[in-house]
């Protein structure tokens, strides 16, 4: 994001939350969403960049599939779908609220 | 009165601004002229409060706004700025740009609407309220940047080469607009440019910068009649 956009807002207000809510978040939302999907959901990228000892839910599911723990895999898949729905819904509603108050 | 006294700023031991002292009064246009890398933009950023000076003071209406030990937030300096790239918020419409600025004053809805109309009238942008920056022409974007700056009712306006990318006809129109607004609103304007013609049209006072130093500052006529040294003479293309 162009830092001038933030500076232009700080000429108007010194309220960081207002600048983040009205200027920064709406502008970086697509980047945030992409980072979330790549980091949390995309298995291949996560396997490549994940540090040793750390794991994400998709990697855990992948490893469990290897050992044939099908019921556990099904449960975790449900959890993953739930997380994505909650995250996407919250983000969508927050975005609608911000654009409406603007 | 907006003043800088011996203001100095370095980046990695390279002095971008070296002991610059200047002043601008309400209703006056000060053009800061200089080639690329002469420290003009850094000086504006120091005045706006985006950079902390290593030495010297920026004072606005007698109050110290910036010094190495004290910084007043940019929003409390009663100044506004038009950036070189305009820095329009791409997710906001024309109206939302002005609303964002005016909302800090907690105005009632009726007053807010009439203020928005008045400001957009000043810059002939009424009728474009619901357009986004990418739906505006180059000149309209400049007008929106000016309108946003006016909405804050600042005493001083800092302009960082705002018309550098425009064709000459559009540039003349906007220069005329700036002169009208200056006379109407009695704002002090610091106009940074490397274009001598722009400076001569707009300025009451000209400050010439070279390698971070202020070479000369005087009224337009005096600088043209008595350039202080060879650099000023060459920059102003005085025979």
Please report the ipTM that was assigned to this predicted complex.
0.87
* Cα dist from B134 to A36, B183, B223, whole Å: 28, 31, 41
Work out the angle between the directed axes of helices B138-151 and B168-185 (0-180°, nearest 10).
20
Sheet holding B188-193, edge to edge: B79-82, B156-160, B188-193, B29-34, B205-210, B213-219
> B64, B235 in Cβ contact below 8 A?
no
**Residue of chain B whose alpha carbon sits nearest to that of A24:** B89
Chain B residues closer than 8 Å to A12 by CB: 75, 100-101, 104, 152
Judged by DSSP in three states, B207 sits in: strand
CATH number of B2-78+156-235: 3.40.50.300
Task: Give per-residue pLDDT as tens, B107-153.
Answer: 788 888 888 988 888 888 888 888 999 999 888 898 899 899 989 88
- Summarize the confidence of residues B219-230 as an average pLDDT: 87
Among A86-90, A92-96, B187-191, name the one with the lowest average pLDDT. A92-96
Q: What kind and span of H or E run contains B214? A: strand B213-219
What was the pLDDT predicted at A40? 66
Q: Which residue has the tokens 């043209």?
A: B224
**Residue of chain A whose alpha carbon sits nearest to that of B49:** A11
Rounded percentage of chain B residues whose pLDDT exceeds 70: 99
Domain with CATH 3.40.50.300 in chain B: 2-78+156-235
* Beta pairing partners, B230: none
Chain B residues closer than 8 Å to A26 by CB: 91
Distance of CA B231 to the CA centre of its chain: 24
Give how far B87 is from chain A: nearest CA, Å.
5
Q: Per the CB < 8 Å rule, is B74 touching A8?
A: no
By residue range, what is the domain housing residue A95? 3-101
What was the pLDDT predicted at A100? 61
What was the pLDDT predicted at B166? 73
Overall domain count for chain A: 1
pTM of the model: 0.79
Judged by DSSP in three states, B157 sits in: strand
A22: alpha, beta or left, given left = phi > 0 and alpha = psi -120 to 50?
A: alpha
Confidence of residue A99 (pLDDT cuts 50, 70, 90): low
Chain B residues closer than 8 Å to A28 by CB: none
Cβ contacts from A onto B, under 8 A: 51
Task: Give per-residue pLDDT as tens, A14-49.
Answer: 888 889 889 998 888 888 777 777 666 677 777 787
* Beta pairing partners, B134: none
Which of B74, B92, B99 is closest, CB to CB, to A11? B74
Tokens matching residue B212: 């971070």
Tokens matching residue B38: 């002469």
Among A30-34, B26-30, B122-126, B192-196, name the one with the lowest average pLDDT. A30-34
* Beta pairing partners, B60: B2, B63
How far apart CA B17 and CA B30 sit, in angstroms, is 17
Question: Which of B74, B133, B157 best probes binding to A when mutated, by most A CB atoms within 10 angstroms?
Answer: B74
What was the pLDDT predicted at B36? 84
What was the pLDDT predicted at B110? 87
Q: Per the CB < 8 Å rule, is A102 touching B74?
A: no
- Summarize the confidence of residues B227-239 as an average pLDDT: 81
Would the pLDDT of B214 be above 60?
A: yes
What was the pLDDT predicted at A61? 86
CA angle A68, A70, A73 (to 5 degrees): 110
- Summarize the confidence of residues B188-215 as an average pLDDT: 90
> B57, B216 in Cβ contact below 8 A?
no
What was the pLDDT predicted at B239? 61
What was the pLDDT predicted at B43? 93
Q: Per the CB < 8 Å rule, is A11 touching B48?
A: yes
Judged by DSSP in three states, B76 sits in: helix
Rounded percentage of chain B residues whose pLDDT exceeds 90: 49
């Amino acid at each position: 994001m162009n830092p001038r956009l933030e500076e232009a807002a700080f000429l108007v207000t010194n309220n960081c939350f207002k600048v983040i809510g009205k200027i920064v978040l709406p502008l970086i939302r697509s980047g945030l969403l992409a980072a979330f999907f790549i980091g949390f959901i995309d298995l291949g990228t996560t396997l490549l960049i994940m540090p040793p000892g750390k794991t994400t839910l998709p990697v855990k599911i992948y490893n469990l599939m290897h050992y044939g723990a099908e019921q556990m895999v099904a449960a975790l898949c449900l959890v993953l779908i739930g997380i994505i729905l909650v995250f996407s819904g919250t983000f969508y509603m927050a975005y609608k609220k911000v654009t409406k108050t603007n | 009165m907006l003043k800088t006294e011996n203001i100095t700023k370095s980046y990695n031991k390279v002095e971008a601004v070296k002991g610059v002292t200047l002043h601008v009064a309400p209703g006056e246009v000060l053009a800061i002229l200089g080639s690329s890398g002469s420290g003009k933009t850094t000086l504006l950023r120091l005045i706006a409060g985006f950079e902390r000076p290593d030495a010297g003071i920026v004072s606005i209406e007698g109050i110290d706004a910036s010094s190495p030990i004290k910084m007043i937030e940019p929003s409390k300096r009663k100044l506004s700025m038009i950036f070189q790239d305009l820095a329009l918020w791409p997710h906001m419409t024309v109206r939302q740009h002005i609303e964002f600025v005016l909302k800090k004053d907690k105005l009632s809805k009726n007053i807010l609407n009439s203020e928005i109309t008045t400001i957009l009238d000043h810059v002939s942008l009424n009728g474009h309220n619901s357009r986004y920056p990418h739906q505006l022409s180059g000149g309209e974007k400049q007008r929106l940047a000016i309108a946003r700056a006016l909405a804050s009712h600042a005493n001083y306006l800092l302009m960082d080469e705002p018309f550098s990318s425009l064709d000459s006809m559009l540039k003349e129109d906007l220069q005329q607009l700036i002169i009208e607004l200056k006379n109407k609103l009695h704002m002090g304007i610091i106009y940074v440019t490397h274009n001598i013609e722009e400076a001569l049209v707009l300025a009451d006072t000209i400050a010439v910068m070279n390698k971070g130093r202020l070479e000369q500052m005087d009224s337009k006529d005096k600088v043209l009649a008595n350039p202080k040294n060879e650099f000023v003479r060459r920059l102003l293309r005085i025979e």
